[in-house]
Structure 1
């Protein structure tokens, strides 16, 4: 009897893992590349329910829903400009992944903002994002004054 109950419990755990594990099976580097380049929708299923996102010196979002709400606001801004994102480096070490790059925001043919950024992601054991820390520095585009 105990063996049967253990087998049932094991099967229940497998079924539960299937329900909470993202279906697309993106790698961590694919997830963070998408998020850091503004392709938020692709990453929502990879946010843990209690994920946090700190934009250092600017904002702090606590929980998956708060992060998604902020992403929607950023997406609305992106609709008003042309964006050019460039990824320079992605470094992965176990449950930690960091990316640095730049974002240029253009309206009417003119750069309205240029940002150098570094995002640090921590993943949990299920492969979901547990936290994001973003460092964003507004600066001039290299080669311009």
Structure 2
């Protein structure tokens, strides 16, 4: 199955990395704003694996609030709630900005994640 830029972005933002790895450009850059940057397909895939393992260890509720699409950019705005043993352990607001090339490959992802959990 071939996905559009929007579909690729939505799947990635929902943590469905395995479905979109084939859409990564070899020189992809994933910047987690204020945290870290992963450069190149190997580094990005490795981080996707780590994030996917975390997602398997918790219950997740991802919600997409809005999507903006232009020629080669997609912005996904959403939120996620993470639970463990029935307790909310984190709630985040997120914005992922994707830049695609003409081959529907992701060249860059800029991710903004803000924790809203109050103890």
Q: TM-score range by the shorter chain?
A: over 0.9
Separation (CA, whole Å) in 1 of partners of 2:64 and 2:27 = 27
Which residue does the alignment assign to 1:31?
A: 8
Unaligned runs of 5+ in 2: none
**Which is bigger in relative contact order (C-alpha 8 A, separation at least 6)?**
2
Structure with bigger gyration radius: 1
Which of 63, 77, 82 is the equivalent residue of 2:59?
82
| Paired residues, number | 119
Structure with greater strand percent: 2
Which residue does the alignment assign to 2:25?
A: 48
Q: Does the aligned pair in 1 maintain the 2:95–2:112 contact within 8 Å?
A: yes
Structure with greater helix percent: 1
TM score, norm. by length of structure 2:
0.96
Which residue does the alignment assign to 2:116?
A: 139
Which residue does the alignment assign to 2:107?
A: 130
Which residue does the alignment assign to 1:99?
A: 76
Cα deviation 1:38-57 (Å, max 9, x = unaligned): 00000100000000000000
- Offset of 1:82 from its aligned partner? 0.3
Cα deviation 1:67-101 (Å, max 9, x = unaligned): 11000001111111000000001100000100000
Separation (CA, whole Å) in 2 of partners of 1:101 and 1:77 = 19
TM score, norm. by length of structure 1:
0.79
Cα deviation 1:1-56 (Å, max 9, x = unaligned): xxxxxxxxxxxxxxxxxxxxxxx210111101110010000010000000000000
Separation (CA, whole Å) in 2 of partners of 1:37 and 1:103 = 9
- Offset of 1:140 from its aligned partner? 3.2
Instruction: Please tell me whether residue 58 in structure 1 is matched to residue 51 in structure 2.
Output: no
